[in-house]
Structures are given as structure tokens and as C-alpha cells.
């Protein structure tokens, strides 16, 4: 097992360095002088320009610059935001819980709806319900979520007035961040009604962000269940006279869930992509919105650091899923890759 984990880890390290290379060189493709870009429209006097060139090491050969960059990255220094002058890592750290909270709720929504829908569709194969699930899932998969979000706002916030249009919490509440997850923090605080407010703010963004994963999970559960339901041991279980609910819910589901879990792991990247759009629509103060704002302000260190940090998060989650998968399934462990 240790060998398996080490093999996986050794595959991750070159990917990490590749990502730093990509982050380093992509930013260098920005046309124009980097110092002048940082200075923006105000301009900069030549003495300060020369000092900054030296400070940032732009007068060194590219490889040396990359070496310096890697050294800083490994020490956890991803540079400072041009606009706020705050370290990129701490800005990311402050906003990331909001994105995680949103993403977790989205995936829970997708699981709660997607797995039962997939199971029932598989058990009642070719029924109206099955066709309905498949059609809905294809639509959900094809959905431009930025539009879906606007439609939900139109219906639930504008027409019905059930949910707020944007943000994480109504302005009358102030919650001291402890965990960074507002749902938890508001429960821990004394503010009455704050939890409900946080929940109301969260519902629509979570549905929007969960739509794509929901479609994928429902489809995957259905096809995995169909495969498992055709196996001999299911026939044996049925023949033994076990109640159908037990056969489907215990014997079949347990085995069908393995591919579904893998798919959930792969959804992490999809969730971050969706979070960028969802956070923009709902003014959700997470890393997605932060990155889009960084682009509009031409804040390149934030862009570079944010990309690397999100990449590392996705990479780590993929690694964890891989390892967890190896723990559950010995065949993977022994079969190498």
C-alpha cells in the first residue's frame, strides 16, 4: 500500500513543477514591460523603475528568475496583489472557505438528487421516469449555468421574492468568522436569524453550481446500476427471496457506487470552473469572483497565484481520490496504474 501511495505521489511532483512552469511563463506572455504594467496608468519614474526591476529580478536570466520563483513558491510566497498589496496566499485563504462552502453544498445537492434518480431510473428501465431522468440529465449537462443562474434569480428572487439576489448574508448581521463556513459560524453565533439568512443566500448558487454534477452523477449512477443489476450475484440474491429493496439498496448499490465515487472526485475541477461563473452571477465573495476581478484590474500576481493554488487543490483532491480508490479496491492497488 505504501508503495502504491509513493508511486502516486511521485507522479504528482512533476505535474506540480509543470504547473509552476506554466504559471511562470504564461504571465511572462503579457505584452509590455511588467513593471509598467504593474504601475498601471499612473506611470513610474525611471529611478523607481530601475529599483523595481532589480527587486523583482527582471534583470536576471529567465532560468534564474524561474529558480527564484520556485524558491518563493516552495516557501509559500506567491507574491502580492498589485491592487491591495496583500499577499496572494492570505487573500486566497480568506476567500477560499466561501468557495468550499458553496461547492460542498452544490455537491451534496447533486448527490441527494442524482443518486436516487439514477437508481430509480435503472430499476424502472425504459419507463417514463427513466426517459425523464435521462432527458433532464442531458439538459442539465448542456446547461449554460451562467444563464441558468439568471433564470433562477428571475423566478425565485424577482418574481417570487423568496431568496436574495446576491451575497452571502444580509447586511444587518455580522458574524465573526471562525470556520469560514457561514452556515456553521452563524449557528455558533448568538445572532438570531443569521443562519436562515445564510441558508437563503446559499440555496440558489448551490443549485446552479450543482446542476452539471447532478446531471453527470444521475447518468453515471444509472449506468453503473444497470451494469450491476445484470450480475449473477444479484440474481442469486433475488432467488434467495430477499426483498427487492434490500437487493437494490444493499447488494447492487454498494457495488454501483464505486464508479460513481470516482466521478465525484473528477467533478472537483468542474466545480471550480462552475464556481467562477456562479460566484460572478451571485456576487458570492469567493475565489472565483476574486479571480475575475483580478483580470479586470490586470492584477497578474493574483491571477498567477490563484491559478497555481487552485491547480494544487484539484491535484491534491485527485490524489486523495486515487489513494482512497486504491484502499477500497485492491485490484487497482496491485495493477499498478
DSSP assignments along 251-275, one per residue: IIHHHHHHHHHHHHHHHHHHHHHHH
Does residue 115 bind another protein (CB under 8 A)? Answer: no
Residue among 316, 215, 220 nearest 268 (CA): 316
Does residue 112 bind another protein (CB under 8 A)? Answer: no
Q: How big is the site for another protein, counted in residues (CB under 8 A)?
A: 45
For residue 86 the three cell numbers come to: 496583500
- CA 91 – CA 100 distance, rounded (Å): 15
Does residue 270 bind another protein (CB under 8 A)? Answer: yes
305, HSE (Cβ side, Cα atoms, 13 Å):
26
Does residue 19 bind another protein (CB under 8 A)? Answer: yes
- Taking CB under 8 A as the criterion, the residue among 146, 166, 180, 255 binding another protein is 146
25, HSE (Cβ side, Cα atoms, 13 Å):
7
Does residue 147 bind another protein (CB under 8 A)? Answer: yes
Nearer Cβ to another protein, position 22 or 38? 22
Contact criterion met (CB below 8 Å) for 218 and 113: yes
Helices H / strands E in the chain, number of each: 15, 0
126, HSE (Cβ side, Cα atoms, 13 Å):
0
Does residue 100 bind another protein (CB under 8 A)? Answer: no
- Contact positions with another protein (CB under 8 A) in 184-223: 223
Count Cβ atoms below 10 Å from residue 140 Cβ, excluding itself. 21
Q: Is 80 in a helix, a strand, or coil?
A: strand
- Taking CB under 8 A as the criterion, the residue among 89, 234, 318, 333 binding another protein is 318
Contact criterion met (CB below 8 Å) for 127 and 228: no
Does residue 82 bind another protein (CB under 8 A)? Answer: no
Count Cβ atoms below 10 Å from residue 175 Cβ, excluding itself. 20
Contact criterion met (CB below 8 Å) for 114 and 218: yes
- Give min distance, CB of 288 to another protein, in A: 9
Nearer Cβ to another protein, position 257 or 268? 268
Nearer Cβ to another protein, position 27 or 120? 27
Which listed range, 21-29, 71-79, 81-89, 321-329, lies at the site for another protein (CB under 8 A)? 21-29
Does residue 26 bind another protein (CB under 8 A)? Answer: yes
Q: How many degrees, rounded to 5, is the angle at CA 153 between CA 151 and CA 154?
A: 60
Nearer Cβ to another protein, position 18 or 330? 18
Q: Write each residue from 157 to 186 as x if it is in contact with another protein (CB under 8 A), else as -, in one continuous string.
A: -x----------------------------
Does residue 78 bind another protein (CB under 8 A)? Answer: no
- Taking CB under 8 A as the criterion, the residue among 38, 83, 199, 314 binding another protein is 314
- For residue 80, the cross-strand partners are 87
Nearer Cβ to another protein, position 170 or 273? 273
- CA 107 – CA 268 distance, rounded (Å): 9
For residue 52 the three cell numbers come to: 523595481
Does residue 65 bind another protein (CB under 8 A)? Answer: no
Does residue 38 bind another protein (CB under 8 A)? Answer: no
Does residue 9 bind another protein (CB under 8 A)? Answer: no
Contact footprint for another protein (CB under 8 A): 14-15, 18-19, 22, 26-27, 29-31, 138-139, 141-144, 146-148, 150-151, 153-154, 158, 223, 226, 269-270, 272-273, 276-277, 280, 291-292, 295-296, 298, 303, 307, 310-311, 314-315, 318
Amino acid at each position: 500500500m505504501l508503495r502504491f501511495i509513493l508511486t502516486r505521489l511521485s507522479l504528482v511532483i512533476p505535474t506540480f513543477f509543470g504547473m509552476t512552469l506554466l504559471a511562470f511563463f504564461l504571465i511572462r506572455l503579457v505584452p509590455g514591460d511588467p513593471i509598467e504594467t504593474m504601475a498601471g496608468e499612473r506611470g513610474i519614474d525611471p529611478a523607481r523603475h530601475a529599483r523595481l526591476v532589480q527587486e523583482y529580478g527582471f534583470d536576471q536570466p529567465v532560468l534564474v528568475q524561474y529558480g527564484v520563483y520556485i524558491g518563493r513558491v516552495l516557501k509559500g510566497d506567491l507574491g502580492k496583489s498589485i491592487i491591495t498589496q496583500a499577499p496572494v496566499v492570505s487573500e486566497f485563504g480568506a476567500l477560499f472557505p466561501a468557495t468550499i462552502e458553496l461547492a460542498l453544498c452544490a455537491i451534496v445537492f447533486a448527490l441527494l438528487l442524482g443518486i436516487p434518480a439514477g437508481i430509480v431510473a435503472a430499476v424502472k428501465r425504459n419507463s417514463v421516469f427513466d426517459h425523464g431522468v435521462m432527458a433532464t440529465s442531458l439538459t442539465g449537462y448542456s446547461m449554460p449555468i451562467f444563464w441558468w443562474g439568471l433564470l433562477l434569480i428571475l423566478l425565485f428572487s424577482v418574481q417570487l421574492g423568496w431568496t436574495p439576489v446576491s451575497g452571502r448574508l444580509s447586511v444587518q448581521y455580522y458574524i465573526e468568522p471562525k470556520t469560514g463556513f457561514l452556515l456553521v459560524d452563524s449557528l455558533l453565533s448568538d445572532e438570531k436569524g443569521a443562519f436562515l439568512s445564510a441558508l437563503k443566500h446559499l440555496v440558489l448558487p448551490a443549485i446552479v453550481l450543482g446542476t452539471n454534477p447532478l446531471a453527470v452523477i444521475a447518468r453515471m449512477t444509472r449506468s453503473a446500476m444497470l451494469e450491476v443489476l445484470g450480475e449473477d450475484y444479484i440474481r442469486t440474491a433475488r432467488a434467495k427471496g430477499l426483498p427487492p429493496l434490500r437487493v437494490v439498496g444493499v447488494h447492487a448499490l454498494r457495488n454501483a457506487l464505486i464508479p460513481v465515487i470516482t466521478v465525484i472526485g473528477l467533478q472537483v475541477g468542474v466545480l471550480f470552473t462552475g464556481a467562477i461563473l456562479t460566484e460572478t452571477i451571485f456576487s458570492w465573495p469567493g475565489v472565483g469572483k476574486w479571480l475575475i476581478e483580478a483580470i479586470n484590474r490586470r492584477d497578474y500576481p493574483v491571477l498567477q497565484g490563484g491559478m497555481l493554488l487552485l491547480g494544487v487543490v484539484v491535484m491534491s483532491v485527485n490524489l486523495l481520490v486515487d489513494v482512497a480508490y486504491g484502499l477500497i479496491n485492491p485490484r487497482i492497488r496491485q495493477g499498478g496504474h
